[in-house]
Structure formats: C-alpha cells, structure tokens
Structure 1
Amino acid sequence: MELPSGQAPSFSQEENLLAFSISTLTPFWNTKKEGYIEGQEGKKLYWVSLTHPENTKAIVVVNGRIESVCKYQELFYDLSQQGYDIYSYDHRGQGLSDRSSPDRHLGHVEKFDHYIKDLHHILRHFDLDENYQEKFLIAHSMGGAISTRYLQTHPNHGFKRVVLSAPMVGIHMPWYLRSLAVPLSKWMASRNPIGYLPGKKGYHVSPFSANDLTHSPIRYQWFRDLYEQQPDIQLGGPSRHWVNQSLNTTRLCHQQADKINVPLLLLQASEDIVVDNTAQNKFVNKINKHHENLATLVEMKGSKHEVFFEIDSLRNQALNETLTFLKG
C-alpha cells in the first residue's frame, strides 16, 4: 500500500534478504498473473503482472540483456508497496520467452526493431490506458535502448514519466575501438552472424570478485542461485549480429533524441563498464537542447551497472530518486 504523504519509504535490505525472500518475496511472487503472447514474427513472449484492485497507477518494467522478470522480484515488491501495479515481460531470445537461435545460451536477435515491436505488442496486451489513471516506464540497460526507440517511434505512448537505469545508449569499449566498432561488427556478423562475439561464450558464473554488475555479494548470490534453480533463464554472451544491431540502435537513440517527449530521469552508474556513460551525458544534453529540462541525469556515485541490485545505500538512493521523480 502507498505510504502516507511525507513518510519515507522502507525498502527490503541485504541483511535479511534470504529470510525476506522466503517469508515475503516468494508469497508475493506467487500472486502474479502470467502468460504468453505472440510477439513479432510469432515469437512467444512471457509476461507477468502483479496488481491490487485499489491501485490506479501502473509501472511497466523493461529489463536488460540476459535478464528475466524472475530476477526482479525484489524491485517489483518494493515498487508495489508504494501503490503501483507492476507489468513486465521477457525479451525474445532470453528469460522464459522463445529463443532466437538454436543455442539457448546465445544472446541473439535478427533485428533490434523486433524488440521494439515486441514492446508495442506487450503494451497493447496490457491495455493500461483502460485501467489506470497514470502509467510509467522503468527500463534498464538494453531495455533502456529498446524503450528509448519505442518512445521515439510512438509519440502517443501515454507514459507520464520514464526512468532509464544505466541505459544502453552507448556501449562501453576502449577508445581505440569506437571508430571501428560499427564496421568491424558488421564484418564479423557477415561472416558468422550467430557466432559468439570473440571472447564471449555460453552461460557461466563469474565469481563475485570479477563481476561487473554490483557491489552487493548478497544480491549477486541471490541472482546466481536463481539462475541455477531455473536453468531455462540462463543466457551467455551476445552474437556478433546482436552487437552490430545494438550499435546501430544506439546511434539512432542519439540521432532522434529530439523525439523524446516525456519527462525522463536517467540513473547513471559512475563505475559502469558495461554501457558508456559519456554517451548517456550526450543523450541527455541532446534531449534538453530540443526540450529544455525535459531530461534529468542523476549520477549514482560508486555504483556498478545494476543500480537496483546494488548495496543498500546505493539501491535505496536509486529507489528514492525513482519514486520522487515518478510523483513529479
């Protein structure tokens, strides 16, 4: 339920996360509605919703590469406690949705536009305009790129406010590869589109000390345990074609920044080595060049890529920034 005005929200914490998962998260997760719809070119997309009959506000959560709705149980719970109904889904090629290649561990997509059209199909299925006074969008990483392109190509989207968490509007890479990345990825994809990007492979578990995602050993272990318990959601490295498609998409995000027409909050992880923070700065500046103060960037100092799965101090900050922004 939504807290009284002026009362600070209380979020789940690392200290008791395991016990909390058993006592609260699992029963909460078991209340979900779930199903499949047909996405672009017949791919089955897995979706979930967590609702309460008194709620009048909805949040659509669009996750990142390798992720699944199953990973977001803690975030969904904390958001639902603030009076929001939650809707989310798994992208084609990952999670519990249909895969896009015979190798279930390969992160692959034929066209990045398929992700965008899938989001359109999902939103039509959820039919939020019929049931809610306000609807919001929260998107992470690759989901941020998908959502950005959706907003740019669907001006009548109806979202009141949008939060992008470490969005993939640029991919982190050494400076000397930046000018070569697009032609090189195109060349590699032309030779073997469903081959893994060199240096990448199928699903494997990195030790916490080597992970690029979070400083929280507890949340990292929770996520890894989940993927061991549900091997169907395991995913490894991206295909060469996925990389080429993604690089082209990030360029479009910038070229059409003027088409963003909704207040936008970008949560930037200062220690991110997955996506490009400089590209995020440029993206926000381009939006504001055309629409003054429409976009706001908040740097999450000390955070790795996954701000909603970080240590409590950083995660609490990310949630407070998000909820304050959504309330306008």
Structure 2
Amino acid sequence: MTVQPPHYFNFSQESQFCDTMAGPVAELWQHRLEGMFQGVDQLNVGWVSLTGYNHDKAIIVVNGRIESYWKYQELFYDLVQQGYDVFALDHRGQGVSDRLAEDTELGHIEEFDDYVSDLKTFFDTVIAPKGYQQHCMLAHSMGGTIGSLFMAKYPSLIDSAVLSAPMHGININNWMKPIASPLARVVEQLQRQPDYAPGQVPYYPKPFADNPLCQSQIRYQWFRDLYEQKPELKIGGPSARWVWQGIAAAKQCIELAPNITTPILLLQGSDDYIVDNQAHNLFCQAMQQANRSCQLTVIEGARHELLFEVDKYRHPVLAAIINHFWKAEEIVG
C-alpha cells in the first residue's frame, strides 16, 4: 500500500493566530474528551483525546515539564487537520493531574520511571482498545525522555516517533556538570519535605524578551495568558529530587537507546539552551550502532519550543513530523 501525502501543508499561521484560536481551534476543543486514570500509587492522571478523524492512525503527544495538554490546542488542531486522531496526558505532578507535594507549584517526582508507567497505563487502558493500526508518538523535552524510556521498555507498541528537543541531557554549566546530581541528592536529604532545588522558585511569568523558549511572541503570550486564566496549571521550578532523577533518566535514555526499534526522527533547535544538544548526538549514535533508525535534524535558529516557534521554524518542524509519520504508514500499510 502506497500512502499518498497531501499536495500541500495547511498549518496555522501566526498572522491569523487570534482568529484561528478563537474560531476553528476553539470549535475543535469543544469536541474533546477528557478523563482520568489511576497511575502509580493511585494518583489521578488526566488525559484528553480528539477522535473520530481517523479510525486507523493516532498520535500520542507526550508533553514536557511544567506543561499541560491545554497548552497544545493549536498543535492538536494542526495534527487533526493532517488526518490523525490525537491523545495526550498530563504527567503526574503537573497540569490537571494530582500534585506530589504540598506546594502545588513545585515540580516534583518520586521515581522518574513512574512517568513511564503512567504512559503505559494510558496506552493500555485508553488508546489500545480503540484498535488503531498505527500508533505514532510526538514527545517534547521531558516528554522525550519519557517517550524514549517507554519505547526502550516496550519496543513493539509505537510504529513511528518524533522527539522534539528531547531531554537526553540537561544543559548545565560545564563546571557544575560533575556535581549537579550529587549536590541535588545532598540538598534533598537536608530538606524535611520535597522542596525546590537550589536557585529554583515557584511559577512566575517570565517576560517574552528574556525567555529562552521561543521567538513567537503571540504564541508565548497565549500560553502565559492561559496559565493566568487557569492558575491550577501553574508549575514552577523542579525539586532537588526531580533534578537528580531527571539527570539519571536522561543518561539512561542513551544507555537504553539500542533497545528502541521504533524509527526515530529527532528534531533539535540550534539555539536551544534548555537541553544538552550534544546528548542528541550520543543518543542517535547509540541507536545507529545497533542498526536502528534514528535521524537527527537541526532547525537552525530555533529555540527549545520547536512546536511553538515562529512560523519559519515551526512549519518545517511540522512538515518533518508528518513526513516521518507518512513513511511509517507506508511500512505499516
């Protein structure tokens, strides 16, 4: 079976952003289905789906730290427009899911693998029963860590995956790298209860001019406004435990990369200072040395939030994502 891609891409435009969000995106969002499942330790984990657009193929969006599926409405619209059903979840401790600390703005985790276990439960209980022929994954930042570990542990479940600026390493000053993890462990032991890592604070809306995330002012302001309208979504800095757990999980992604059989497209922003871009090379090399399929594509000039960037970066990113999924569809078909 040969899959015929559309003759052109019709992604949402910054110049029409307000009209698009107030019109077709808001209309699509009205048709969402939301739910909760019980994750590890019976915590409630929230999820959303937009279905009925394709009975054969679905995309699972795995978002990053501090994010919520509420932030991804424009992306969901673009994916549905390309003919996919869409599923997403809010990781434990953030978004609409149960928090893990008394301070609800603290980004905390007990065991990083709990994220992976929750994703497996989501797949098994919500997505798999739908009977899709093709399961694609689009995972961003910390979601890329979770997605990588998920595919290494369950190599037969995902047919094609795109990792957007995955956290395969955290961008830490060179002199801090050797001591960051042990320092976080010591700080955690000194804390009576989960608390912020050194230098981290509760949520605050960083001005656009100083933000390291993206260069689209209208998209950036929209998500900041969303968090003011829905303050329950706000998450600030990570806990000391999250820091050393996150560093260990990122390292594990590279160690376990040879176990991943899913074809991977790894998208990297050249001006990303949130994650360690050098770790992407190590991840892809580890997959390729095991005769796995991993393609690294650098978006020159783009920052960390590739899916929320200005159109000149975002549109090539979305086109690369859809093209990668089409290739997998040909194989599955």
Is the shorter-chain TM-score for this pair beyond 0.5, marking a shared fold? yes
For residues 289 and 175 of structure 2, the distance between their equivalents in structure 1, rounded to whole angstroms, comes to: 29
State the Cα distance separating 1:286 from its structure 2 match.
1.0
Amino acid at match of 2:305: E
1:296 matched to which residue of 2? 295
2:261 aligned partner, one-letter code: N
Residue in 1 that maps onto 2:190:
191
Q: Measure, in 2, the Cα distance between the counterparts of 1:258 and 1:109.
A: 26
Cα pair distance change 1:290/1:54, threshold 3 Å: closer
- Give how far 1:54 is off: 4.3
Deviation at residue 128 of structure 1 after TM alignment: 2.7
> What value does the CA root-mean-square deviation take over the aligned residues?
1.4
Match of 1:317 in 2: 316
Distance 1:214 1:274 in 2: 11
* 8 Å contact from structure 1 (residues 62, 89) kept in 2: yes
CA contact (8 A) 1:169 1:279 kept: yes
Is the contact between residue 155 and residue 262 of structure 2 (CA under 8 Å) also seen in structure 1? no
1:20-31 alignment, distance < 5 Å: 20-31=20-31
- Percentage identity across paired residues of the two chains: 41
In 2, distance between residues paired with 1:77 and 1:6? 16
CA contact (8 A) 2:151 2:158 kept: no
- Whether 1:111 aligns to 2:114 is no
Instruction: Note if contact 1:40-1:118 (Cα within 8 Å) is conserved in structure 2.
Output: yes
What SS does the corresponding residue of 1:176 show, helix, strand or coil?
coil
**Residue-by-residue CA offset, 1:154-203 (whole Å, 9 max, x unaligned):** 223x2111100000010001111112222222212222261211111111
Which position in structure 2 is the counterpart of 1:175?
A: 174
SS at match of 2:198: coil
1:241 corresponds to:
241
Cα deviation, 1:270-324, whole Å, max 9, x if unaligned, reads 11111000011111111101115x1000001111101000000100010001001
Q: Is the 8 A contact 2:53 2:85 kept in 1?
A: no
Asked if the contact 1:60–1:138 (Cα under 8 Å) also holds between the matched residues in 2, the reply is yes
1:129, CA displacement in angstroms?
A: 6.0
**Counterpart residue number, 2:216:** 216
CA contact (8 A) 2:53 2:83 kept: no
**1:138 matched to which residue of 2?**
138
Query: How far apart in 1 are the matches of 2:54 and 2:216?
Result: 34
Task: Provide the residue aligned with 1:166 in structure 2.
Answer: 165
Matching residue of 1:85: 85
1:107–1:236 contact (8 Å) kept in structure 2: yes
- How does the TM-score come out when normalised to structure 1? 0.96
Task: Sort the Cα spacing of 1:217 and 1:130 in 2 relative to 1 into closer, same or farther, 3 A.
Answer: closer
The amino acid of 2:286's aligned partner reads K
Tell me the residue number matched to 2:331. Answer: none
Runs of 4+ that moved beyond 3 A = 3-6
Deviations 1:119-177 (A, max 9, x none): 01111112336421111001000000011111111223x21111000000100011111
What is the DSSP-based 3-state SS (H/G/I as helix, E as strand, rest coil) of the residue aligned with 1:175? coil
Confirm or deny: 8 A CA contact 1:57 1:133 kept in the other structure.
yes
User: Structure 2: how far apart are the matches of 1:176 and 1:284?
Assistant: 26
Aligned length: 324
Q: For residue 5 of structure 1, report the CA deviation from its aligned partner.
A: 3.7
The 3-state SS of whatever aligns with 1:214 is coil
The match for 2:62 is 62
Inter-partner Cα distance in structure 2 for 1:148 and 1:4: 29
Contact 2:36 2:46 in 1 (8 A): yes
Of 253-262 and 231-240, the range deviating more from structure 2: 253-262
Whichever residue aligns with residue 45 of structure 1, its letter is V
Structure 2: gaps of 5 or more residues: 328-333
Q: Determine if contact 1:55/1:83 at 8 Å carries over to the other structure.
A: no
Residue deviations 1:223-278, cap 9 Å, x none? 11111100010110000000010111111111112111110000001111110000
Which letter does structure 2 place at the counterpart of 1:300? I
Equivalent residue, structure 2, for 1:18 = 18
